[in-house]
Amino acid sequence: MYTFIKLGGSVITDKSGREAADLPLIARLCAEIAAARAATPDLALILAHGSGSFGHHYAARYGVHRGVPPGGTFLGFAHTAAAALRLNRIVVDQAITAGLPALSLQPSASLRTRAGAIQYWETATVATALSHGLIPIVHGDVAFDDVQGSAIVSTEMLLEYLAVATPLRPARVILVGESAVYTADPRIEPHAERIPLINAHNIEQVLSGAGGSHAVDVTGGMRSKLELIWRLVQQVAQLEVRLIGPEAGLLQAALSDAPLDSGTVIML
């Protein structure tokens, strides 16, 4: 079984800035993945990351997520794709520096959507890379859309497609982003409490309290991400999704199945 890891765009970049990658953090997260893989050499990983202050800026500026009208220009589409690739190059280079056999695979090269939903993605290369012991690295990206011309495909959408529409079923998904899901926004409400477990008993209550992002995010913010994660948990048997922050040691501990007194676990 596979482990999917997502590095949130708001973690590895300053989303309120412009193409502001957090190089020390990216390097440390890659080093933690390398340490976990050294301890468990057969750990099969797919690494994905958001676009943060790279792709989201151009997508919002040009409205790529809303589509391109007939006869409209795809200049924004090109800018968004190029920015996403610039961040991907940074992540891949840091992964290789950490000793990981990382391979960049650009989703938009073989991705098609219809009204914003993935219709087709050629993923044979992902499976082949895994069979050779490589770590495929994919990222949130643009897509040609059969209805609206263009669309944005979030990292969560890509991971859902891999988990549901291909044989690459994950046993766990680790999302490095917000430190946990809380009863309210901890940035605003000092008495907000961490929700350690989300399951069928409390998912509706959690979704009703989930808000949006705090910076430019054309993929919908926290609520839409939680909805997608819950849909994924319902479709993949015995899947465990763990949401953790980027604090030192947490990613390595999560990959090593060490007990964590932080974050949020989402499962049936």
State pLDDT tens for residues 105-138.
Answer: 999 999 999 999 999 999 999 999 999 999 999 9
**Position 85: which residue type?**
L
The 10s digit of each residue's pLDDT in 6-56 is: 999 989 998 777 889 999 999 999 999 999 999 999 999 999 999 989 988
Long-range contacts of 192-197 (CB under 8 A, 24+ apart): 194/262, 194/264, 195/264, 196/263, 196/264, 196/265, 197/264, 197/265, 197/266, 197/267
Task: Return the closest-CA partner of residue 143 out of 224, 215, 235, 218.
Answer: 218
End-to-end Cα, the chain, rounded Å: 18
The whole-angstrom separation of Cα 164 and Cα 179 is 26
218 pLDDT higher than 60: no
Gyration radius (Cα) of the chain, Å = 18
Decide: pTM greater than 0.85: yes
For residue 181, give the H/E element and its range.
Answer: strand 181-182
pLDDT greater than 60 at residue 212: no
What pLDDT sits at residue 165?
A: 96
Classify domain 2-266 at the CATH superfamily level: Acetylglutamate kinase-like (3.40.1160.10)
All structural domains of the chain with their residue ranges:
2-266
Percent with pLDDT over 90 in the chain = 73
Q: What is the pLDDT of residue 14?
A: 86
